[in-house]
Amino acid sequence: MTQSPVLVIDLQTGMFDGVFEPPIHDAEGLTERVRAVTAWARAGGHPVAFVRHDGPGGDPLARGQPGWPVWPALGQADDEPTFDKSVGDAFSNPELGAWIAGLGADGVVLLGAQTDHCVAATLRGALAAGLAVTVVADAHSTWDYGGETAPQIIARHNDAFAQAGARVVTAAALTGG
């Protein structure tokens, strides 16, 4: 059985470059932790895939827009696939589920953005697909919204992810770093 793949969700240039909106909460720290998790994954035989959101026309994350590419600072390897989606749940793209099934994996490791949208939706999609889910508690992020700070939203969702049945661990605990 293949080790659980790491899915890097929607960490795209538009979330980091500050052109259309402020960078995502703790952008530099998030980048460092994602790089640490993907390095750990590669060294340990965990496949890595990236998920990219295709926003609607006019959106900074619309296909072909400057904000659409995976954030280059994450260091995606040439052989790591990218799965596109246009809704929150990455499992809406059947190619992702087929890739995971083809690996023979029975679980996934999730990190990325936005905590309260695509990460949460992808967690639900993974659980619905019968996969064990690990969420890297400090390697997903969002923006302040609705009277809550990004750290409050992240903490609230980490609790909800655990209650939903996910294993929730920090990047350091996962990687031994």
Displacement of CA 40 from its chain's centroid (Å): 16
- Its pTM stands at 0.97
Over residues 56-115, the pLDDT tens digits come to 999 999 999 999 999 999 999 999 999 999 999 999 999 999 999 999 999 999 999 999
- The confidence score (pLDDT) of residue 53 equals 97
Over residues 47-63, the pLDDT tens digits come to 999 999 999 999 999 99
Asked whether the predicted pLDDT for residue 2 surpasses 90, the reply is no
List helix spans (H) across 23-177: 27-44, 94-103, 120-128, 150-163, 171-175
> How many CA atoms within 13 Å lie on the side-chain side of 95?
8
Over residues 117-159, the pLDDT tens digits come to 999 999 999 999 999 999 999 999 999 999 999 999 999 999 9
Band (pLDDT 50/70/90 cuts) for residue 177 is confident
Other Cβ atoms closer than 10 A to 156: 13
Strands 107-113 and 6-9: parallel
Q: Is 58 exposed, middle or buried (0-12, 13-18, 19+ CB in 10 A)?
A: exposed
